[in-house]
Each structure stands twice: as structure tokens, then as C-alpha cells.
């Protein structure tokens, strides 16, 4: 009885609010339902980003107990981008004359090459998995297996493969003139190894997403095309490719975002000193107590990712949604 | 950050915590002292989180019966964890009270990773771990940030004087703030030396004992020829000379520091402790360039465009460019290398593996001390490494932590736990000279060599900007050793980036 009274009392208090909610149109109500998700996103994503940006507007305070120094506006950005901070950051931010030793170039080269290779290989794997053949289940397991390997384990596998004294690939590759005898100590060699390692692991990710796209294609389209006399290549070009392209682009977007943030793979296989990515730079400057500089590079990565995502969405978002 | 809670609540919680931690592998010291009472300390008073013993400096060994158990978290070296039994029993013998227990958190053996871990802990002002072992190479940046406790507020003047007067000066200089206050206590010092296969060297016709290699060292020129000969005449041995030249702190602080010092050169005209921005940058000089040419000769042979005449080539594998301490020690420990530059703990391992076949000498030199361009360089040099004990300023158990630090300063602890147990060199020369030290089975026989290395040790350049400079140095040196840059270009680039860092603060 008492409980019922309490409930009624509460309802009476909230009645005006409930009435307002009931009067909302469908669009407004949908937005209202998004508020909790928006709040969570704000707390876990937007707020840290704002704090990082705020930190990036302060100087480093290396010789004082303060975590960050005085307000300097955009000076950190100017000095980082123009290379004035290179010596403090352990490697060049951008040095076109030595791309494999500069963070921005390494990050872009790694991202571009690995995402392109993963897309091509992943597409091939998806086409194979889309076919009916004996042992398809085992083929799926084999293709997906690398994706299940944790980054540290994957890193150790490749690290051991290219160790000078025990790695079984080091000597043969050196003898055919591909790598030096200490490939993980050479920036170019190590970058190639990192790309191979990344492709080995994440092609399966691309394959899975593309496979989902392939399997959503109406098979009758192929039957009609066959009746019309279309060759295998024509069927691929006119049916498969256009219909699966939005899914491929979404998968590429995911991989691009991940590749731009590469850090763990580098640290486990080579080292951030040998292959300095932007994320490496964030970690090393943070470790050395250069919090303003660290926040600046971190925000630059966030900005690059933000621009990439926006570009993708503008370019292909509508197509993807339409399909 | 003084988190005062209700003491009554905390005592109950702590007792529960201690029980839980004990079940989860916390090390109970009581068992080590022969007392056998590994309990939770019974119903102690509900005092503060620190023990109530008051600051007794005497280190009396008896805990008060019924006193509440305090568990200290100690971020320590993996070797401490491996030898925890002897470490813990010696702490107890050295006066650590019964009611103080320890939870050893074994960190990474890679110094940079330990530094990153501590940075995160201390930036977030965590109260645990209460005690942190810090590499002498990066203790000062934490001191500058007020992220380690000023120990002069806790230890008696006797303890402070002992450290200042009786410990290795170079080690103490890595433990002080700008105003000379002690913020850390050296736990052990790293005195690197050259292990070599004495049996094979003798077979090759050399006389290490007769020529006093163990105390006088030899020149790099002679060393290269000895290694080359031994390697050539022993088909089963794959490697000649192994050392650490990966692009990491160990190259800049130590290996390269030794190479250039052995040629009479120096990083900052010999001024390794600052003041930052007010000292010369002296990496682009002939002794330093020659040291690089020499290493390149060792690795790449006489065909290298920078090869030095008179030095035997191809005595070191190109793999050293990827090797750290453990990687470079492995072939030597397996009997697959002629010589290995390493720290005492690895020499202890080598002594166990190789027995009487192991020889040990100071790191070779190119010029004598008299011929060196800078003071304290040339002759048998070694970069003084080492680890310090620090207290977390946010710890809620500072009194108990102080008791622990006092116990780690006892001579008996240095000899039995640090030297015999862990295989590291105590930070007090007097302990090295003691009779007990020379009787230690594996490394006692090398005591004379360690003393020579200690006397000629080159301090590490440990200022607040060293971590940044270190990464520049190791990067440029590793690049030029890998033949991707000429020594002149690498050192010229290094000179300008070191200068920039000096001027940036």
C-alpha cells in the first residue's frame, strides 16, 4: 500500500515530463533516445580529446614538478610540424629526404601499403570463401586464424623470424640481397617486415567484411548474367565489384584508422627507434616527460584520423547507405 | 594527496587485504626469520597506516608482538624476485621488523619499460608501490619532478653521511636533487667488464695471467687480434666478440660511452651532470669518430670504407646491431663466442656455465689515461650503471618504507643478498674489499678486476634531458654502425640535435 502511494507520488512529479515526451514527434523522440549514447560518447571520447587539445596548448615542463608548463597557444603545433622539435622527439616529424626515419612518412607509408595489400589479399580470400568447395570450413579457419593471434604473440613470431642468429628467414633473405643481416635494425627492412606482419594478420579482417558483402548479393543476378552470355570477368566487373564496393570501402576505412595508430606491432617486432610512427612519438615524448609535445602529436593523429573519416564519409557514405 | 581514512575501517580492510594478498602470493617475511609466525599480525591497534614504532634509527630486529602487519609493495628487479628467499632473509637479518611484510612486484628487465611503467604510476599519484627501484640513468628526471621522496626527511644524518662518504661517488650523483639532497639510495652498481674464453686464449699462445689482463686490461688493437685468432682456430665457435649495439638506452649510456671514453673522448667534455645548456657538446671529435670507425671495423671488416688500419675485422657479428644484454650474453654462455662485454650478473651466469674457462678483464682501451683528451678517460674504462632504491612520495606507509630502506643499507645485506644472491656489485667499495666478497664462489675471484673497473668507472650522463639525448645518441650511433651514414655525418647531426635539446630547457 505504502509502495503504491510512493509510486503514484513519483508519477505525479514526473507527469509533466512524461506528457512532454508523449507529445514529441517521431524524429524528436529518436533523438531523445540517442541522448544516453551521446553522453557516454562525450565522456569516453570527446572529453579526453578536448583535454588532450588543452594540454597541447601548454609548453613542456621538464625541469619543474608541474606536469605541464605555461600556455603557449599553437606554438607546439608550429614547432612540431616545422621540425623544430625533432631533436627532443627522438626522430624527425617529417623529413622527405629520409622518409623511413620520419614519423609522418613512416605512418603514411605503412598505412597506404598495408591497407592496399590487405584489401587485395582480403578480397581474394573472400572470393575463395564465397565459393562452394570441399574443405571450405577448414579454409575459413586457416584464413581467420592469424586474426585471432594477439599482437604481442604476432610480434614475437616475426621478431624471432628475423633475429640474426636464430631467425630462419634472416640468412636466406640476406643471401638473395633482399635484407641486411640485421634487418630489424634497418629502418627500411624493418618497415617492410612490419607491413608483411600486418598484412598477414589483418587481411582476414578485410576478407570477413568483404565476404559479408559478397553473400548479400542476390545470386539470381549471376544466373541472369550467365543466360545473357556474360563472361566470368564481366560478371565480376558488372555485378560483384559494384555491389560489394561499399563494404570494401567501409572495411578500408576501419583498417586505415587502425593502421594510422600503429604502435604495438612496431614495439614488439622492431622498435620505435628503428621505425618511428606517430604513435611511437606520442609514447616516447610522454615517457620523457614532454607532455605538451606528446599531447600535440596525439592531437595531430586524432586530426588526421578525423579528416580521413570525414573524407570517407563524404565520398562514399551516401553510396554505402544507399546500398 | 594524503588520503586520510577512518582508521578503524582501514585496519579491518587492511587485515583482509593482507590475508588475500598472502593467498595470492605475497611474500611473508616472518617465515624467513625463523619466527615461523606468518600470521596477519593479530589484532593490532588501530593506528595510522604507517607503523607506530616512531622513527627509531637503530634498526632493532624485534617486531612488537601483536603489532599490526604492514605490507609494502616493492617494484623491484626480476633478479630480486628470482632470489627473493635470500633477499628477504637478509633484510630480516639486517633489521627489518617482523611486522613489515613485502610484496615484490618484479618489473621488466628492459630499463625503458620500467621507466614507462613508473612514469604512469607516479603521474597518476598512486600510493602503491611504496618503493621503486630506479635505474641510475633515469632517477634524476623523477627527482626533478618531485616524484620521489626526499629521503633526508626520513633517514638519520648517520645514514645520509654513510651514503655520501662511503658509497661510489658516481652512483650517489645519480641519486641527488639539484640542491644536493638525497632522494635515492644506490642499491647496486653496474661495473661492466669483458668476459672471455681464457682457455682458448691460452691455447692460442697468449698469457693473460702473466700480462695481468685482469687488472691492467689490454688495448683494443690487441684484443681484436686475440679474438680474431681464437675464432679462426676454433671451428665450433661462431662468434668472436659480442656486445650491445641495438638502438636503445644501453648503447648510449654504456656501450658507446665506453667505446668513446676508451679513445679518450667524452659526450659533454666530460661534464655529464650539467648544468644543461652550459657545457660543450663534444661528440663530433676525432676520438669519438675513431671509436666508431673501430667498431665498424669489428663488425664489417677491413672492407668497410671507414675501417681502421691495424685492427682485426669481422670479429663481431652484424647481429650486435639488434642485441641487448641478454641476446649478446647467450652465445657466450653457450660456449659459442670468444668474448662478451656485459654486467656482473651475466658474468656470474658465465662463471657458472664456463667455470675456470672464463676469464674476466676491464673493457679494452685505445689510449692510456695520460694520452686521453679528457680527464678520467682512456685506460680501462667502464660505464657505471646501477639501480637505486626510491620511495614513492604518495605512499601511505613511509615509516615502514624507511625501515626497509635502512635494512637495504646494511653491509650484510650488500654482501649476502646483493653480491652473493643477485650477483650484482654492492655500492660500497668497502664491501668489495671485504674478505667475504672474495670468497663468493662465482665472482669473488674477479674482485681485483671489479675494483679496477670501479676506480676507472665513467659516470653516466644523467641529467633531466638525458632520456631525450640518449635516444638521439643511440639512433645516430646505431645508424652509422649499420653503415647507413658516415661517422662524420652521424656525429655532426648528433651534435646539432644534442645542442638543440640543451637549449630547449
C-alpha cell at A137: 570450413
Q: Do B464 and A63 touch (CB under 8 A)?
A: yes
Pick the residue from chain A with its C-alpha nearest to B147.
A65
Q: Do B467 and A288 touch (CB under 8 A)?
A: yes
- Which helix (H) or strand (E) is B142 found in, with range? helix B139-144
Residues 264-283 of chain B with CB under 8 A from chain A are 276
Give strand pairing partners of B242.
B340
State the distance between the two ends of chain B, measured CA to CA, in whole angstroms: 28
The CA distance from B486 to B491, in Å, is 9
Number of CB atoms found within 10 A of residue A264's CB: 14
Chain B residues closer than 8 Å to A289 by CB: 119, 141, 145, 464, 467
User: Chains A, B: CB contacts under 8 A, how many?
Assistant: 95
Q: What is the pLDDT along chain B (505 residues), one digit of tens a residue?
A: 333 333 333 333 433 333 333 333 333 333 333 333 333 333 333 333 333 333 333 333 344 556 789 999 999 988 899 999 999 999 999 999 989 999 999 988 778 788 888 988 998 899 999 999 999 888 988 998 899 999 999 999 999 999 999 998 888 988 998 889 999 999 999 889 999 999 999 999 999 999 999 999 999 999 999 999 999 999 989 999 999 999 988 999 999 999 999 999 999 987 877 788 889 999 999 999 999 999 999 999 988 999 999 999 999 999 999 998 988 999 999 999 999 999 888 888 898 899 999 999 999 999 999 999 999 899 999 998 889 999 999 999 999 999 999 999 999 999 999 988 888 889 998 888 888 888 887 788 898 898 889 888 888 888 888 888 998 999 999 999 999 899 999 999 999 999 999 988 7
Confirm if B460 and B384 have CB atoms less than 8 A apart.
Answer: yes
Nearest-by-Cβ selection for A186 from B146, B147, B482? B482
Looking at the complex, report in whole angstroms how far the Cα of residue A106 sits from the nearest Cα belonging to chain B: 16
> Residue B117: closest CA among chain A residues belongs to which residue?
A287
Alpha helices in B147-278 (DSSP H): 157-166, 169-172, 198-203, 213-216, 220-232, 249-250, 256-262
**Residue pLDDT, tens place only, A143-195:** 889 999 999 999 999 999 988 767 788 888 888 888 887 889 889 999 999 99
Q: Which helix (DSSP H) or strand (DSSP E) does residue B241 occupy?
A: strand B239-242
- B362 near B266, Cβ under 8 Å? no
pLDDT for residue B438: 80
Amino acid at each position: 500500500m505504502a509502495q503504491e502511494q510512493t509510486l503514484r507520488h513519483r508519477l505525479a512529479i514526473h507527469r509533466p515530463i512524461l506528457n512532454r515526451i508523449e507529445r514529441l514527434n517521431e524524429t524528436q523522440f529518436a533523438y531523445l533516445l540517442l541522448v544516453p549514447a551521446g553522453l557516454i560518447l562525450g565522456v569516453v571520447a570527446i572529453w579526453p580529446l578536448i583535454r588532450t587539445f588543452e594540454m597541447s596548448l601548454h609548453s613542456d615542463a621538464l625541469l619543474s614538478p608541474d606536469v605541464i608548463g605555461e600556455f603557449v597557444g599553437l606554438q607546439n603545433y608550429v614547432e612540431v610540424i616545422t621540425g623544430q622539435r625533432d631533436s627532443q622527439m627522438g626522430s624527425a616529424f617529417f623529413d622527405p629526404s629520409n622518409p623511413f626515419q620520419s614519423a609522418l612518412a613512416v605512418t603514411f607509408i605503412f598505412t597506404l601499403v598495408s591497407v592496399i595489400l590487405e584489401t587485395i589479399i582480403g578480397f581474394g580470400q573472400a572470393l575463395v570463401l564465397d565459393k562452394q568447395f570441399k574443405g571450405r570450413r577448414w579454409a575459413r579457419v586457416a584464413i581467420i586464424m592469424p586474426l585471432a593471434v594477439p599482437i604481442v604473440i604476432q610480434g614475437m613470431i616475426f621478431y624471432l623470424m628475423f633475429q640474426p642468429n636464430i631467425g630462419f628467414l634472416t640468412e636466406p633473405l640476406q643471401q638473395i640481397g633482399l635484407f641486411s643481416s640485421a634487418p630489424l635494425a634497418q629502418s627500411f627492412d624493418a618497415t617492410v617486415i612490419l607491413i608483411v606482419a600486418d598484412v598477414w594478420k589483418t587481411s582476414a579482417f578485410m576478407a570477413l567484411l568483404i565476404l559479408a558483402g559478397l553473400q548479400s548479393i542476390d545470386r539470381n543476378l549471376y544466373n541472369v548474367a550467365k543466360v545473357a552470355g556474360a563472361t566470368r570477368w564481366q560478371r565480376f566487373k558488372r555485378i560483384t565489384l559494384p555491389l560489394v564496393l561499399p563494404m570494401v570501402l567501409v572495411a578500408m576505412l576501419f583498417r586505415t584508422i587502425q593502421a594510422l595508430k600503429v604502435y604495438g606491432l612496431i614495439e614488439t617486432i622492431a622498435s620505435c627507434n628503428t621505425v618511428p610512427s606517430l604513435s611511437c612519438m606520442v609514447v616516447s615524448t610522454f615517457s620523457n616527460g614532454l607532455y605538451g609535445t606528446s599531447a600535440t602529436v596525439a592531437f595531430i593523429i586524432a586530426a588526421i584520423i578525423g579528416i580521413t573519416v570525414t573524407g570517407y564519409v563524404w565520398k562514399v557514405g551516401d553510396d554505402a547507405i544507399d546500398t | 594527496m594524503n588520503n586520510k581514512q577512518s582508521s578503524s575501517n582501514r585496519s579491518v580492510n587492511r587485515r583482509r587485504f593482507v590475508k588475500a594478498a598472502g593467498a595470492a602470493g605475497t611474500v611473508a617475511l616472518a617465515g624467513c626469520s625463523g619466527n615461523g609466525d606468518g600470521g596477519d599480525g593479530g589484532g593490532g591497534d588501530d593506528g595510522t597506516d604507517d607503523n607506530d614504532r616512531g622513527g627509531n634509527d637503530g634498526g632493532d630486529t624485534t617486531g612488537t608482538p601483536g603489532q599490526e602487519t604492514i605490507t609494502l609493495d616493492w617494484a623491484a628487479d626480476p633478479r630480486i624476485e628470482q632470489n627473493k628467499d635470500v633477499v628477504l632473509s637478509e633484510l630480516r637479518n639486517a633489521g627489518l621488523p617482523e611486522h613489515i611484510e613485502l610484496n615484490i612486484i618484479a618489473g621488466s628487465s628492459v630499463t625503458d619499460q620500467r621507466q614507462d611503467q613508473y612514469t604512469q604510476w607516479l603521474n597518476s599519484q598512486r600510493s602503491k608501490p611504496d618503493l621503486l627501484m630506479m635505474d641510475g640513468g633515469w632517477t634524476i628526471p623523477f627527482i626533478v619532478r618531485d616524484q620521489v621522496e626526499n629521503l633526508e626527511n626520513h633517514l638519520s644524518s648517520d645514514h645520509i653521511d654513510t651514503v655520501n662518504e662511503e658509497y661510489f661517488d658516481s652512483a650517489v650523483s645519480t641519486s641527488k636533487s639539484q640542491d644536493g639532497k638525497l632522494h635515492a639510495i644506490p642499491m647496486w652498481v653496474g661495473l661492466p667488464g669483458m668476459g672471455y674464453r681464457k682457455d682458448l686464449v691460452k691455447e692460442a699462445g697468449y698469457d693473460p695471467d702473466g700480462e695481468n689482463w685482469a687488472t691492467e686490461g689490454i688495448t683494443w688493437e690487441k684484443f681484436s687480434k686475440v679474438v680474431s685468432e681464437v675464432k679462426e682456430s676454433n671451428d665450433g665457435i661462431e662468434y668472436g666478440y659480442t656486445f650491445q649495439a641495438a638502438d636503445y638506452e644501453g648503447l648510449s649510456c654504456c656501450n658507446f660511452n665506453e667505446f668513446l671514453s676508451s679513445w679518450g673522448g667524452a659526450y659533454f667534455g666530460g661534464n655529464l651532470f650539467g648544468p644543461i645548456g652550459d657545457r660543450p657538446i663534444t661528440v663530433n671529435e676525432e676520438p669519438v669518430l675513431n671509436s666508431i670507425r673501430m667498431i665498424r671495423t669489428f663488425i664489417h671488416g677491413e672492407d668497410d670504407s671507414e675501417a681502421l688500419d691495424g685492427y682485426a675485422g669481422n670479429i663481431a657479428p652484424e647481429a650486435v646491431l639488434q642485441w641487448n644484454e641478454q641476446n649478446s650474453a647467450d652465445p657466450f654462455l653457450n660456449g659459442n663466442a670468444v668474448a662478451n662485454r656485459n654486467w656482473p650478473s651475466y658474468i656470474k651466469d658465465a662463471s657458472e656455465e664456463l667455470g675456470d674457462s672464463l676469464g674476466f678483464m676491464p673493457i679494452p682501451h685505445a689510449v692510456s689515461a695520460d694520452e686521453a683528451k679528457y680527464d678520467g678517460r682512456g685506460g680501462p674504462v667502464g660505464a657505471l650503471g646501477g639501480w637505486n632504491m626510491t620511495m614513492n612520495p604518495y605512499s601511505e606507509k613511509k615509516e615502514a618504507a624507511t625501515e626497509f630502506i635502512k635494512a637495504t643499507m646494511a653491509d650484510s645485506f650488500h654482501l649476502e643478498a646483493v653480491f652473493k644472491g643477485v650477483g650484482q656489485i654492492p655500492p660500497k667499495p668497502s664491501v668489495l674489499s671485504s674478505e667475504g666478497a672474495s670468497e663468493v664462489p662465482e665472482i669473488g675471484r674477479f674482485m681485483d678486476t671489479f675494483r679496477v673497473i670501479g676506480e676507472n668507472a665513467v659516470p653516466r650522463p644523467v641529467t633531466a634531458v638525458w632520456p631525450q639525448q640518449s635516444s638521439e645518441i643511440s639512433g645516430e650511433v646505431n645508424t652509422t654502425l649499420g653503415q647507413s651514414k658516415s661517422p662524420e655525418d652521424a656525429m655532426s647531426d648528433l651534435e646539432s640535435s644534442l645542442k638543440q635539446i640543451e637549449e630547449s630547457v
